[in-house]
Structure 1
Amino acid sequence: MTSPADLSHAVLIRVAEFLRTLAPDQLAALADGTAALTVAGASAPAASAPQPPPARRTRSTAAKAPTVVDTERIRADLAAIDDRVAAGRYLDDLGLKVAELRTLAAELGVALPSRATKATIGKSIVQATVGRRLTSAVLSRPATGG
């Protein structure tokens, strides 16, 4: 079972990611209390304006320009995470494609096998950014007891 602290940490990361997508006027409205965030369950959408149906995917929308990976932001976010599982979830939540993950890994200095899968790339990034730091912290602790 995941502890409440771990769950809170994961939720705060998701909220922070969402807040980064808001326009300045929306953030100001949240800050001054004229707007509010609402929690909606996956099975019960929030009572709000009806959402238009998703646009049909056509050949022109399928060939979108590749997403620009904000390596420094991701590096900083991963540095703030003290759990390998949460870091993996964070990377998954970014929704990056294999090519984007490869670019991120290269920019973070993470070596990858040439045939690495999306899962392998994600695990390698987590190990290089979070795992090594956590392992180092454990190994550098003074011995206790005796």
Structure 2
Amino acid sequence: MTTPADLAHEVLLRVAAFVKSLPADQLADLASGEAKLELVPKAGRSPRPPRRPAAAGAALSRPVTEIQDMLSQLETRQAATQYLNDLKLTVPQLKELAKVLGIPAPAKSTKTTLTTTIVDTTTGRRADSLALSAP
């Protein structure tokens, strides 16, 4: 049985031989990051699923200032979460809201993750601060 180290060694030898055979311009593109090497199965590439169109309709159903004001007035995380859920915002809309509010959101976030991030950053931090400062 071949060990992973032996396989890695064999792969690196093949990659080195391939890269050595490249013309100077392609090698320069690889070195600068303008080009990349891609693993393609021996049978060829499988067809990619069609790309979804860009997220249309990222416009919010309510003005951002109204949403921000409401989130600042709500006293609990649960109330803020319910408020955002009641708006029935899509993932692109939640990403847009987070962006406008200056809240970093990972590119591949779910609706629940985005809602939690927005609530924690707005209502949650204020609620935590109030709880800590209460006698």
TM class, shorter-length: 0.5 to 0.7
* Aligned match for 1:124, one of 117, 120, 124: 117
Look up the equivalent residue of 2:134 and give its one-letter code: R
Q: What is the aligned partner in structure 2 of residue 114 from structure 1?
A: 107
Q: What is the aligned partner in structure 2 of residue 24 from structure 1?
A: none
In the alignment, structure 2 segments of 5+ residues that lack a partner are 1-55
In the alignment, structure 1 segments of 5+ residues that lack a partner are 1-64
* Aligned match for 1:72, one of 65, 68, 81: 65
TM-score (structure 2 length as normaliser): 0.55
Given that 2:58 and 2:92 are in contact with CA atoms closer than 8 Å, whether structure 1 keeps it comes out as no
TM-score (structure 1 length as normaliser): 0.51
1:102, CA displacement in angstroms?
0.2
Look up the equivalent residue of 2:102 and give its one-letter code: G
1:67, CA displacement in angstroms?
5.6
Deviation digits for residues 79-127 of structure 1 (CA, Å, limit 9, x no counterpart): 1100111110100010111000000001111111221111000000000
Q: How many residues align?
A: 78
Identity of aligned residues (%): 40
Q: What is the aligned partner in structure 1 of residue 94 from structure 2?
A: 101
Instruction: Give the whole-Å Cα distance in 1 for the aligned partners of 2:102 and 2:133.
Output: 24
Look up the equivalent residue of 2:68 and give its one-letter code: R
Instruction: Give the whole-Å Cα distance in 2 for the aligned partners of 1:68 and 1:111.
Output: 18
SS in structure 2 opposite 1:106? helix
1:68, CA displacement in angstroms?
2.7
